[in-house]
Amino acid sequence: MARYDFASDNVAGAMPEVIEALVAANAGTASGYGTDHVSRAAADRIRAVLDADAEVRFTASGTAANAFALTLLAQPHEAVLAHEHAHICTDETGAPGFFGQGVGLIGLAGASGRIDLASLETALARPEVSYNQPAAALSLTTATEYGTVYAEDHLRSLVAPAKAKDCGVHLDGARLANAVAAGFDLKSVAKMGVDILVMGGTKAGSTPTEAVVFLNPAHARRLDARLKHAGQLVSKGRFLAAPWLGLLGEDGGTGPWADRAAHANAMARKLADLMPFPIRHPVEANGIFVEMDEPTLERLRREGWFVYRFLDGTVRFMCSWATTPEMVEDLGEALKRVA
């Protein structure tokens, strides 16, 4: 039987704190469509960790969260700038264009998933003509698709020219917990001018839930009507919100959400130390990307380990909140055998 321990960070179950929060939220009755006491409490905790006033809503899918967010930042005749290997460009099956009724995507270059400033500036300087979709928004991701984490100064250097061109800014934080565990300051997000943040719960160790944080007050108008129209206003909304009461601390701290991400990051570093293959990208969060030819990958799979070949041709190994040192050591032995 194949082992999927390192195939993704979404193969693990939910952490116990999340299950406890769901059980607690299941008691009694509550109003629907996100108007309940659980959703209000979860939103308060998110505002506290961000140190920002914001509207907060919850979806069951990162794809839906990202695509919906971009509909508020770009019109159908406009486009979103993003790294060429960003999830919205490579793994969401055109969802931004579907939700946005034609919103386009413009891919930008940059090493290890981080957008290069010169690439962004070139795109922003492109003349507007009637036959091309002009850029209306910038989408950023941290931790990136290659497991790297933006320095705050790098993010600010990208946000500033986008804002100068009146572009909205979206931050895809599917693995934001891992970035925070690596040192990223969560309270910097609102201050640097991000309009909409997606805080990832699913990959961090929750049942399916993503928190969509609307930091720009202009997006609050008819927000729930927009969500309903997009099929994202869930009737029993407390069950999407409740996991965040288990993920985040009551004291305004990042709690198990970041603590367990720190463990995942540590397991990635442990695996990197055991890795007999060249590592292509810096190991800064919970992913390791290595150079491995197809026959070797097939040998590894015959050993019982399933992992993906990724966008740039590397083989990806992902650690999760539930990865144990023993799992890492078992894989390390298998990697030595196939090397």
Going by their DSSP bridges, the two strands 315-318 and 287-290 should be labelled as antiparallel
* CA of residue 132 relative to chain centroid, distance: 29
The pLDDT of residue 1 is 80
- Domain 17-247, classified CATH 3.30.420.10, yes or no: no
Tens-level pLDDT at each residue, the chain (339 residues):
899 999 999 999 999 999 999 999 999 999 999 999 999 999 999 999 999 999 999 999 999 999 999 999 999 999 999 999 999 999 999 999 999 999 999 999 999 999 999 999 999 999 999 999 999 999 999 999 999 999 999 999 999 999 999 999 999 999 999 999 999 999 999 999 999 999 999 999 999 999 999 999 999 999 999 999 999 999 999 999 999 999 999 999 999 999 999 999 999 999 999 999 999 999 999 999 999 999 999 999 999 999 999 999 999 999 999 999 999 999 999 999 999
Predicted model pTM: 0.97
Q: Give the pLDDT of residue 97.
A: 97
Q: Tell me how far apart the alpha carbons of residues 170 and 179 are, in angstroms, rounded to a whole number.
A: 16
Cα angle, residue 82 at apex, residues 80 and 88 outer, rounded to 5°:
85
Fold of the domain built from segment(s) 255-338:
Aspartate Aminotransferase, domain 1 (3.90.1150)
Supply the pLDDT for residue 285: 98
Task: Tell me how far apart the alpha carbons of residues 178 and 268 are, in angstroms, rounded to a whole number.
Answer: 11
The pLDDT assigned to 171 comes to: 98
Q: Where are the beta strands (DSSP E) in the chain?
A: 55-59, 79-83, 104-108, 135-141, 168-173, 196-200, 210-214, 287-290, 308-309, 315-318
Provide CB contacts within 8 A for 311, sequence distance 6+: 85, 90, 145
Q: What is the DSSP string of 223-255?
A: HHHHHHHTT---TTTHHHHTHHHHHS-TTSS-H
Would the CATH topology of 17-247 be identical to that of 255-338? no
Report how far Cα 201 is from the mean position of its chain's Cα atoms. Answer: 9
> Rounded CA gap, 100 and 102, in Å?
6
Quote the CA–CA distance of 257 and 176 in Å, as a whole number: 9
What 222-226 contacts at long range (C-beta under 8 Å, 24+ apart), as own/partner pairs, is: 223/55, 223/57, 224/33, 224/34, 224/57, 226/68, 226/71, 226/72
Question: Per-domain residue ranges for the chain?
Answer: 17-247, 255-338
Residue 139 to residue 170: CA distance in whole angstroms? 5
> Quick check: 84 and 67 in contact, CB under 8 A?
no
